[in-house]
Chain A
Amino acid sequence: ILNVEQSPQSLHVQEGDSTNFTCSFPSSNFYALHWYRWETAKSPEALFVMTLNGDEKKKGRISATLNTKEGYSYLYIKGSQPEDSATYLCASSHLNAGGTSYGKLTFGQGTILTVHP
């Protein structure tokens, strides 16, 4: 059974603060790590997909890093804004016995971020 763990479960920050979250995933048969942002009453929206150890990706004020050998990823938000308030989900995919992972993402329970004006 694959377990993806995210911490913290929730976070309250002030506008302008920088923050980061952690995602831990099994390193065995690892294939890819996904980050999603899920705002209330909307669909989860993809932020990053990372595959290689040492990968770093950036989109505006949000960036992510990946360590596949130790099985963790960090998501950073610089200068948080109220519109960043959302649940941030990470999900990993792993190769099955047939060498594929088709569509199967194993999600963590998410980190709920609230940014106060």
Chain B
Amino acid sequence: KAGVTQTPRYLIKTRGQQVTLSCSPISGHRSVSWYQQTPGQGLQFLFEYFSETQRNKGNFPGRFSGRQFSNSRSEMNVSTLELGDSALYLCASNSGTENTEAFFGQGTRLTVV
């Protein structure tokens, strides 16, 4: 079955702009989580959505937001981009049952200039 698909794979934006990243989970998976990886940092949890509801949230400013659609696809939006937002953004899907493995996409590499 198809894996987790993230689009676009690469993105260059200018400071102050906003960006939207997309994640299509594995068919049948209802939970989507988002993570940020910056140089020298481990993966940092942004938020998790299940059945169109945000169930959990990490410690990121309000410029980072997300949503999930009825088909479980999720989008993440970052407004007023800063240079420090340059990172690899990964999404992960699972069935929504706790303690199950997460399946990751290949990520979107965002560069803010």
Q: Contact: B105 with A100, CB < 8 Å?
A: no
A102 to chain B, nearest CB (A): 4
Bound-state CA distance A28–B90 (Å) is 27
Q: Which of A45, A49, A107 contacts B100 (CB 8 A)?
A: A49
Closest to A47 in B: B101
- Chain A nearest CB, measured from B43 CB (Å): 4
> Given the interface contacts A102-B56, A104-B56, does A43 sit within 8 Å of B99 by beta carbon?
no
Let me know if A20 is at the binding interface, CB within 8 A: no
Known: A100-B55, A102-B55, A107-B43. A43 touches B104 (CB 8 A): yes
Interface string of B31-50 (1 = CB under 8 A from A): 11101000011111101101
- Size category, B interface: 20 to 34
User: Does more than half of chain A's interface fall in helix, strand or loop, or is it mixed?
Assistant: loop
A109 within 8 A of B: yes
A45 to B4, CA, bound (A): 12
CB interface residues, B 28-78, toward A, < 8 Å:
31-33, 35, 40-45, 47-48, 50, 55-56, 58
Within 8 A of B (CB), among A38-70: 41-46, 49, 51
Please give the number of chain A residues whose Cβ is less than 8 angstroms from any Cβ of chain B in the complex. Answer: 28
Name A104's contact: one of B41, B45, B107 (CB within 8 Å): B45
A: residues with CB less than 8 A from B are 4, 31-32, 34, 36, 41-46, 49, 51, 89, 91, 93, 96, 100-110
Residues of chain B touching chain A, judged by Cβ–Cβ distance below 8 Å, are 3-4, 31-33, 35, 40-45, 47-48, 50, 55-56, 58, 90, 92, 94, 98-107
